[in-house]
Amino acid sequence: MITATIRFLALLVISLPMTFLLHAQTLEITVSAGGFERSGTIVTFYLPMAFEPGHYQMVSEQGEEVILQVSQENQGTFLLPSLAAGETVQYSFTPSQDKIIPAMEVVTGLVDNQIVVSASGSEVLRYYSGLNNPPAGLDARYQRSGYIHPLLSPSGVVLTNHLNEDQHPHHSGIWSAWTQTVFEGRTPDFWNIHQNSGRVDGEGAPDSMWDGVVHAGFISRHRFVDLSAEEPVVALNEEWKVEAYPLHDGSFHLFDLTVTQTTNSDSPLFLPEYRYGGVGFRGHADWDNPDLVQFLTSEGQGREGHATRVRWTHIGGLSDGNLAGLTIMDHPSNPRFPQTVRIHPDEPFFNYAPVQLGDMEIRPGSPYTVRYRYVTYDGEPDVEKIEALWRDFAYPPGVTVRRL
């Protein structure tokens, strides 16, 4: 009888889903602020066991409840309410008991040919997953996809521009391209599409989209097409990962853009030293008037900050009569951090341009990856808050996970 019972229990254990067995225990998550005070900070870590994607409730040792969002990649993310510099806080949760279905704070959706990302009921950005619609004054070369426009402030002020017939119609909101390149002995220009030697095209529908309480976003793919060959050939494959977070501190929109580029063959892409190239930003059409826009770098410079190495750059001014702006932040993991910047002397154009520091090369088997954080706001920039947000981005709290 005892042997039969043991056999039955063994079969029961074998038949149970592995996730149930893993979730039957409580986890203790310890968060360390490090050297900085934290407030509304994004905390991300990988879990030590497989979890079903979704939302779970965690409770701190003081009884404070927070929501943990687990992704398809088994990555957990939550917003740390507050923690003093040098302090730690412990959270515990039992996943099998605490999975919840809350109302989403950050959502993505498809509207015609665009992905729309909204946070806390306010639209953050739109991304062209399908083709744009150029005005009559621009030819078919300017019909493209794979870029962000519009980018908006929390109150809905538009901060970007594209398809500008009067100034640089190849500039497209937030987009990615390289200018001077060498590929298989040819010199395609993927930035200046009107030169007919290269272009960057989106691949259509995103690989994935997700909603969440803590973050929402999408993953999309682009192709760098060399048009200077006898037949068009893809030189680079590019992946964009966009992750947006809830309305921060009641006054900021915030999203991260991670760009990963890999060669499409065993041929490298050589990038000679040049003054711009990479991930670009084109500001609102009103900012074509230099009197209506200002730049401010982390080192306290304006437009004269061109070609300097900076941690973040603010661009802002009057858009349709409303004062708003954004800050683009550089991450310490990026190649050649802190990267040098291209700030146009007259136009609302900005670009982190590591190629200013010398030749680069994207080689087979060695992806080129950069990560930037975008923060949008209304009114004047709050430098103290921007610095705090950059520190959270660059030096996030430490996390350890222990099974109880």
Separation CA 385–CA 3 (nearest Å): 66
Cα 233 from chain centroid? 28
Tell whether 228 and 354 lie within a shared domain.
Answer: yes
Query: Do both 167 and 185 map to the same domain?
Result: yes
The CATH number that applies at residue 65 is: 2.60.40
Q: Do 59 and 122 sit in the same domain of this protein?
A: no
User: What is the per-residue pLDDT for 97?
Assistant: 58
Q: Are 41 and 134 part of one and the same domain?
A: no
- C-alpha 48, offset from chain centre: 25
- If one counts the domains in the chain, the total is 2
Look at the block and give the residue holding tokens 């039969």. Answer: 4
Question: Does any domain span residue 399?
Answer: no
Instruction: Check whether residue 264 and residue 296 sit in a common domain.
Output: yes
Q: Do 249 and 390 lie in a common domain? A: yes
Q: Do both 112 and 89 map to the same domain? A: no
- Structural domain range at position 56: 2-101
Contact 287, 269 (CB under 8 A): no
Q: What is the mean pLDDT of each run of 10 residues along the chain (404 residues)?
A: 38 39 73 97 94 92 94 96 97 76 87 94 96 95 97 98 95 98 98 97 94 97 97 98 90 97 98 98 98 98 98 97 98 98 98 98 98 98 97 98 91
pTM (two decimals): 0.93
Residues 191 and 320 in one domain: yes
What CATH number corresponds to the domain at position 168?
2.70.98
Pairing mode, if any, of strands 233-248 and 216-226?
antiparallel
Considering the domain architecture, whether residues 365 and 308 belong to the same structural domain is answered as: yes
The Cα 361–Cα 104 span in angstroms is 42
Are 48 and 185 members of one domain? no
In a domain, 162, yes or no: yes
| Residue 60 and residue 202 in one domain | no
pLDDT of residue 404: 85
Domain end position, chosen among 101, 117, 140: 101
Question: Is residue 401 in some structural domain?
Answer: no
Specify whether the CB–CB gap between 160 and 149 falls below 8 A: yes
Could you say which of 73, 101, 129 is where a domain stops? 101
* C-alpha dist (Å) from residue 213 to 47, 54, 113, 179: 18, 10, 25, 39
Phi, psi torsion values for 345, nearest 5 degrees = -70, -25
128 — alpha (psi -120 to 50), left (phi > 0) or beta? beta
Measured between alpha carbons, how far is 182 from 226 in angstroms, rounded to an integer? 10
Residue after which a domain boundary falls, among 74, 101, 128: 101
| Claim to verify: residue 78 and residue 130 sit in the same structural domain | no
